[in-house]
Amino acid sequence: MNGGVKQGDIIKLDMGSGLGHERHGYRPAIVVSNTSLSRASKLTIICPITNTDRKSPLHVRLDGLATTGFVMCEQVKAVDLNKRRHEWVETVSDDILWDICDIIQGSVEVETVV
């Protein structure tokens, strides 16, 4: 359903053109959606990876992998991997995946208005 990738996989894909601060071009990204979402929607949720250390609390450093850089958790994007050129690179540890998903979840929590 999603080009054979699974949650926690780092892939390289053509992200197309972007505007402003959006990532674009052929670059690495990490798959953050689970298999259930990918099957139901035929879309895969990813976060791009950059080599620039912006010292952002929304970025997760990739350590101990062939892929270097920082996962940009604020740039969540849904893509159709059945229609985009992509290739599998490697899979991150559960600890890294948990850190990424924790930041994403915290970014979309409903804020209580007082």
Instruction: Please report whether residue 113 resides in a domain.
Output: no
Q: Is the pLDDT of residue 106 over 80?
A: yes
**Residue 16 pairs with which residues in a beta bridge?**
none
Mean pLDDT of the region 57-80: 95
pLDDT at position 103 is 96
Output the domain CATH number for residue 29.
Answer: 2.30.30.110
Closest CA to 45 of 23, 77, 72, 84: 77
Instruction: Please report whether residue 76 resides in a domain.
Output: yes
Question: 18: pLDDT confidence band, cut at 50, 70 and 90?
Answer: low
Instruction: Please report whether residue 1 resides in a domain.
Output: no
Instruction: Please report whether residue 82 resides in a domain.
Output: yes
Instruction: Please report whether residue 24 resides in a domain.
Output: yes
The whole-angstrom separation of Cα 58 and Cα 100 is: 9
Structural domain containing residue 65: 9-108
For 22-60, how does the pLDDT look when each residue is reduced to its tens digit (9 = 90+)? 566 789 999 999 988 877 888 999 999 999 999 999 999
Mean pLDDT of the region 8-25: 76
pLDDT at position 60 is 98
The whole-angstrom separation of Cα 9 and Cα 97 is: 9
Domain count, the chain: 1
Instruction: Please report whether residue 2 resides in a domain.
Output: no
C-alpha distances in Å from residue 87, one per residue of 1, 57, 111: 15, 28, 37
Instruction: Please report whether residue 114 resides in a domain.
Output: no
pLDDT at position 42 is 86
Instruction: Please report whether residue 51 resides in a domain.
Output: yes
